[in-house]
């Protein structure tokens, strides 16, 4: 189901993100993406005569015996990748106290990664999720496909507003048989059901990267007296006294617990991760991510 965004406004947003994402992928991330996210492995290319300095482990003994001269096997990297973008569409991502919401930031980061991928002839697909898979976009290449993907990220209206990170990870494992590069882009705001085991299983099968988006305005509870709060995921409303030091401390602790859960899960699963705030430049974090993986 589509949102009620006016077509002209949607096209303007898509165009703005396209210009920025393409510029970054061409000017800032050129070459870095290729080095950071390698192909599926090495494929046999040809045999050639042995040269001084060649690794003796690459000698093709059958050809060597046939021609009575040493020959070695030459391998080339299988470059083409399938890139899957697992993007959080839950109610909490609509929040933002800066110039953009977490959902808009998610879309922009996904677009930058997508344009970087197609420049390297990789295919890009997406899984938009809440506590269910809301939309699956099969992996394809080409600018037209990426623009369609960006439009969906900005305009898609999910059926649910709640979060279950196990859902997209399990779906990825079932659907994508061959190893792919997967970016899980979310605020990782999930209570209750643990997702550490599913995260580890996905990381074993695929090259998984976690990108946590957050809003600094939500880290601390401001002192505003008695206010009405709406839970963006459950829809529950209640009044709280924000002047209470105990309540603000409890709120801060809950945020820290969410962050600690995210970081410890990534560490245990061997998952590279970055954290990006709304209203701030995400480019340095992506550059850091690429640099760590080179």
Q: What percent of the chain has pLDDT over 70?
A: 86
Dump pLDDT digits (tens) for 152-162.
Answer: 998 999 999 89
Choose one of 17, 49, 78: the last residue of a domain: 78
Q: What is the mean pLDDT of residues 170-183?
A: 93
Domain containing 49: what range?
A: 41-78
Tokens of 192: 């209750």
Same domain? 53 vs 90: no
Same domain? 125 vs 93: yes
Same domain? 116 vs 45: no
Q: Is residue 212 over pLDDT 90?
A: yes
> What is the longest distance spanned by two Cα atoms in the chain?
89
Q: Is residue 5 over pLDDT 60?
A: no
Q: Rounded to two decimals, what is the model's pTM?
A: 0.79
Same domain? 49 vs 92: no
Dump pLDDT digits (tens) for 126-148.
Answer: 999 999 999 999 999 999 999 99
Same domain? 233 vs 262: yes
Q: What is the mean pLDDT of residues 185-204?
A: 91
Same domain? 106 vs 60: no
Q: Give the other-Cβ count within 10 Å of 147's Cβ.
A: 16
What pLDDT, on the 0 to 100 scale, is given for residue 64?
Answer: 87
Residue 186's SS3 state is strand
- 108 to 13, 65, 101, 104, 144: CA distances (angstroms): 10, 57, 11, 6, 16
CATH code assigned at 260: 3.40.50.410
Q: Give the other-Cβ count within 10 Å of 185's Cβ.
A: 25
Mean pLDDT of the chain: 84
Choose one of 78, 102, 135: the last residue of a domain: 78
Q: What is the mean pLDDT of residues 287-292?
A: 85
Same domain? 115 vs 174: yes
| DSSP single-letter state for residue 2 | B
Structural domains of the chain, count: 2
CA–CA gap between residue 148 and residue 138 (Å, rounded): 12
Q: What is the mean pLDDT of residues 188-192?
A: 81
Same domain? 115 vs 46: no
Dump pLDDT digits (tens) for 65-119.
Answer: 888 889 888 765 555 689 999 999 998 888 766 678 899 999 999 999 999 888 8
Q: What percent of the chain has pLDDT over 90?
A: 43
């Amino acid at each position: 189901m589509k949102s009620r965004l006016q077509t002209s406004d949607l096209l303007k947003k898509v165009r703005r993100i396209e210009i920025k994402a393409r510029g970054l992928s061409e000017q800032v991330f050129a070459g870095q993406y290729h080095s950071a996210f390698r192909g599926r492995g090495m494929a046999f290319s040809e045999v050639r005569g042995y040269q001084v300095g060649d690794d003796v482990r690459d000698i093709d003994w059958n050809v060597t015996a046939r021609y009575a001269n040493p020959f070695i096997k030459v391998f080339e990297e299988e470059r083409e990748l399938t890139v899957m973008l697992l993007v959080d569409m839950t109610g909490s991502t609509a929040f933002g106290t800066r110039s953009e919401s977490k959902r808009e930031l998610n879309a922009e980061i996904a677009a930058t990664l997508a344009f970087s991928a197609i420049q390297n002839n990789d295919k890009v697909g997406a899984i938009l999720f809440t506590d269910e898979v809301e939309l699956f976009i099969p992996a394809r290449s080409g600018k037209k496909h990426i623009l369609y993907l960006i439009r969906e990220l900005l305009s898609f209206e999910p059926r649910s507003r709640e979060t279950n990170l196990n859902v997209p990870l399990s779906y990825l494992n079932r659907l994508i048989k061959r190893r792919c590069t997967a970016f899980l882009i979310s605020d990782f705001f999930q209570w209750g059901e643990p997702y550490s085991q599913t995260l580890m299983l996905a990381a074993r099968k695929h090259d998984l990267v976690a990108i946590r988006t957050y809003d600094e305005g939500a880290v601390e509870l401001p002192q505003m007296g008695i206010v009405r709060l709406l839970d963006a995921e459950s829809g529950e409303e209640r009044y709280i006294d924000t002047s209470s030091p105990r309540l603000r401390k409890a709120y801060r602790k809950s945020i820290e617990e969410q962050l600690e859960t995210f970081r410890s899960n990534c560490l245990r699963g061997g998952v590279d991760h970055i954290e990006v705030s709304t209203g701030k430049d995400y480019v340095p974090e992506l550059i850091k991510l690429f640099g760590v993986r080179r």
